[in-house]
Amino acid sequence: PLAPSAALVASVKSAATRNELFDTAAIQKLDSAHYLHPFTDFKQLNENGARVMVRGEGIYLWDSQGKKVLDGMSGLWCVNVGYGRTSISEAVYRQMETLPFYNSFFNTTNVPAVQLATKLAEIAPPGFQHVFFTGSGSEGNDTNLRMVRRYWDLMGYQERHTIISRHNAYHGSTVAGASLGGMDGMHAQGGLPIPGIVHIGQPNYLEAGQGMTEDEFGLKAASWLEDKILEVGADKVAAFIGEPVQGAGGVIIPPATYWPEIQRICDKYGILLIADEVICGFGRLGKWFASELFGIRPDLITFAKGVTSGYVPLGGVLVGDRVAKVLIEKGGDFNHGFTYSGHPVACAAALENIRIIEAEQLVQRVDEDTGPYLKQRFATLGDHPLVGYTSSCGFVAGLNLVRSKGATVHENVAFDEALSVGMVCRGYMFNNGMIMRAVGDRMIIAPPLVMTRAQIDEMVALIRHCLDLTYEDIK
């Protein structure tokens, strides 16, 4: 009695596939009339109309006109186990029937939150026994800001409040998240960053590595952290935050020398290290957490997205023993938290999602089988006349569209920005059954971890076809 009947699920699904229920023009009209979308030029969207997504199954989506599309972005880097997982909807339904909500304030707790916290401590890297739940990745990074400052206050270092981040980082869209991030367009709106947050350069070899090997550049980019620490004053720096692989900035994979050197510098000055694994966590790079892949020992790990595969919102911070010990042993209220911290329904979804990842060995598959296969197949796109550079790591990858290729990646000739070639290419992808995101002229993917070898072949062929269409258009 606690699960939706198979007949009900089937009837909803078949209605979605039949399309009679969806009057696209009417939905678009209402969408324009009432719905302000995130990160969107409202005027432009209202002129063109939004694409209406109605159903998902595995790695595919269908829109309101019945068109099938391969979702190369896992929704928004989050649908790790793919669409249509009935066991997650059943877990959510059961929890809603039992206890849809209760808060974790005022010395109360709930069973799924306790179970999930315990499970996360089990799959986290060594030295993580605690978690602080939030509703999103942005709130997770707000929590980091409050928590590292609280930590240093409790340690008796009230001056240690500055957080160092990087240009072109993405850490969310709340005021603290956007300030920690290094997106110029976000900073320009609303007077960001807030005080106490400073930025250094990103480890982007293509952008700044000319004349160096990748390894040399990795050390150089890490040295910018030490320069900034000395500029701010080591006794004023609370923490350094970074995404192990920058996602929204364009899938920027740092040289192998970068993170170990960052770790060494943080250790040298006693600075806390925050790994923002909102994208990289939960198997995306072939480990439960990418910190393991890059050999770093962060003090705090932000997570969201893949924890529930996006089925319901959930985020949080894994709190390492160094910080947790001080917060707990010194006592006193931490005046921070959210209504939905430890939401029982979200935690129930996460538990089932993690069970699926384990049962289907998705982390191991990406590490040992499909990740290396994707790397190999994606690299073949490098022979396309438009493609000047490809790179990948686990289940994220990107390629750069260039006007002409040089002898080295630094000698490639870029397109004039005004041509927006990335957006043109994205349009061809979108209209031909492939979702690939454009960051300037870099085209990126982060497919669901359930993608098979055959589906990787299908995706790479589809990308090549859309690159051909783009080439024909602009050459």
Minimum CB–partner distance for residue 288 and ligand PLP (Å) = 16
Nearer to ligand PLP, 82 or 315 (CB): 315
Nearer to ligand PLP, 296 or 402 (CB): 296
Minimum CB–partner distance for residue 378 and ligand PLP (Å) = 21
Give, for 443, the enclosing helix (H) or strand (E).
Answer: strand 442-445
Nearer to ligand PLP, 61 or 248 (CB): 248
Minimum CB–partner distance for residue 278 and ligand PLP (Å) = 4
> Do the Cβ atoms of 315 and 135 come closer than 8 Å?
yes
Binding positions for ligand PLP, rule: CB under 6 A: 136-138, 141, 170-172, 243, 247-248, 276, 278-279, 304, 315
131 CB-side CA count, 13 A: 27
Nearer to ligand PLP, 172 or 422 (CB): 172
Minimum CB–partner distance for residue 173 and ligand PLP (Å) = 6
Block residue for tokens 């952008």:
207
Amino acid at 422: G
Minimum CB–partner distance for residue 137 and ligand PLP (Å) = 2
> Do the Cβ atoms of 256 and 289 come closer than 8 Å?
no
Nearer to ligand PLP, 226 or 243 (CB): 243
- Other CB atoms within 10 A of residue 474 CB: 14
Nearer to ligand PLP, 128 or 338 (CB): 338
97 CB-side CA count, 13 A: 10
Minimum CB–partner distance for residue 372 and ligand PLP (Å) = 24
Separation between Cα atoms, residue 412 and residue 398, nearest integer Å: 16
> Do the Cβ atoms of 54 and 20 come closer than 8 Å?
no
> Do the Cβ atoms of 464 and 457 come closer than 8 Å?
no
Q: Which residues pair with 134 in a beta bridge?
A: 315
Nearer to ligand PLP, 89 or 174 (CB): 174
Minimum CB–partner distance for residue 325 and ligand PLP (Å) = 26
Measured CA to CA in angstroms, residue 434 lies from 177, 180, 279, 403, 462 at distances of 30, 32, 20, 23, 7
Nearer to ligand PLP, 141 or 400 (CB): 141
Measured CA to CA in angstroms, residue 138 lies from 102, 250, 299, 316, 384 at distances of 22, 19, 18, 9, 37
Nearer to ligand PLP, 229 or 446 (CB): 446
- Residue 213 phi, psi (nearest 5): -75, 165
Separation between Cα atoms, residue 237 and residue 240, nearest integer Å: 8
Measured CA to CA in angstroms, residue 426 lies from 72, 260, 429 at distances of 12, 35, 5
- Other CB atoms within 10 A of residue 457 CB: 12
Nearer to ligand PLP, 304 or 466 (CB): 304
Token reading at 75: 């929704």
Minimum CB–partner distance for residue 471 and ligand PLP (Å) = 30
Nearest in space to 103 (alpha carbons), one of 337, 350, 353: 337
Separation between Cα atoms, residue 380 and residue 384, nearest integer Å: 8
Minimum CB–partner distance for residue 177 and ligand PLP (Å) = 6
Minimum CB–partner distance for residue 303 and ligand PLP (Å) = 9
